[in-house]
Amino acid sequence: MTRRTSRRTLGLALALLPLLGLSPARAQEGEVVRSERESFRLTTFATGLERPWGAALLPDGRLLVTERVGRLRLVGRDGAVSAPLRGVPEVEAASQGGLLDVAVAPDFDRTREVFLCQAMLVQGGALTRLVRARLAADGTALEAVTPLLDATPAQSSGRQHYGCRIAFGPDGRLFLSTGDRNVDRMRAQRLDDLAGKILRVDREGRPQQDNPFASQAGARAEVFSYGHRHPQGLAFNPWTGSLWSSEYGPRGGDEINIIRPGANYGWPVVTHGVNYSGTQISDRKSAPGMVDPIHVWTPVVSPSGIAFYDGQAFPGWQRSLFVAALNAPGLVRLTTEGDRVVAEERLLFDRRIRMRDVLVAQDGAVLVLTDEASGRILRLAPQ
């Protein structure tokens, strides 16, 4: 091969990189990591985020990313991070609270609607709040910010266990997770209380007439399932249509659950864990009328955001559920068959990076938000 031919070949290869969604610099950076089914190149896609918590993919490939301290930013397809958006609602950014999840409406192209979940301080204490807004045409602000639903009653003490993950169902209705708030655990069992639940509402925050407790006296019509401790992951299985949830246990007993209408998932009547002091919470791990998890971790991994892999970049990861883990920190890959978990693989646990959320990009790469003061978005892409 002549020097001229070599240069032409190199030039052609570099010209093809943008078509593959890569820059010449990105194509060469990062580290190749080998896993059971796939090898991937690990790179840092974006930096300069303070405690990023949730992310949503826009139709044009950009990301909306929340920072727990109360900021919302746009991240470009090249990883560039915008200035904080204007018009973001005030939040209660204490302990585990703040600006938490963000989701994009299924018809965002037409409405530009986005939905936020946040911790909010109101008269009587703090609670989980669902908010709707519209992303301005220039992407610099939120407009028409409207509170839709408060997970009442407010709680005067404690700033933990807000839950706060959002998922849209195939029919366009919205599901929201709420935590038990970690003071009165039995809130999760009370149907007149919105703590410790999975809620189902429309885009106005209204309960659905076919919700399981909509016509039951003394029950909140928004409740879809109950008996949850602190669910921080929600995702629909694209192959079965079922709703999956990740849920923190106490000391032991982290869970993956499949959410069924009207089901009681047991907390704190049943649990696979104990108090952090080591004392017993319950002597039962299962009970009649209560739904068992399909997967349990003891010791815990502190499972946060989850995402099913349906991209084309990694054929070996098809039908996997990715789980962002905080402690022990890393990324968990669960192999699924229908509505069963059949195997588990742990990725990047040797890096000791707390991971808060995970999503699949348009090009099939896996993006992971790190729970750090100098937070990042990591990118797992083909070599």
Return the active site residues: 161
Concatenated DSSP letters of 132-161: EEEE-TTSSBEEEEEEEEE-SSPBSS----
Buried b (16+ CB within 10 A) or exposed e, 229-255: bbbbbbbbbeeeeebbbbbbbbbebbb
**Rounded CA gap, 6 and 8, in Å?**
5
**Rounded CA gap, 314 and 302, in Å?**
26
Whether a cis peptide bond, with omega within 30° of 0, leads into 52 is no
**Rounded CA gap, 379 and 249, in Å?**
28
**Rounded CA gap, 182 and 197, in Å?**
13
Q: Which two tokens stand for residue 16?
A: 């093809």
**Rounded CA gap, 262 and 291, in Å?**
10
**Rounded CA gap, 101 and 45, in Å?**
20
Going from the C-alpha of 378 to that of each of 49, 85, 208, 365, the distances in angstroms are: 12, 22, 38, 10
Q: Is 7 helix (H, G, I), strand (E, B) or coil?
A: helix
Alpha helices of the chain — where are they, by DSSP H? 3-16, 24-28, 108-111
What's the distance, CA 16 to chain centroid? Answer: 34
Question: Assign residue 286 a region: left if phi > 0, alpha if psi is -120 to 50, beta otherwise?
Answer: beta
Q: β-strand 142-150 against 125-135: which pairing, if any?
A: antiparallel
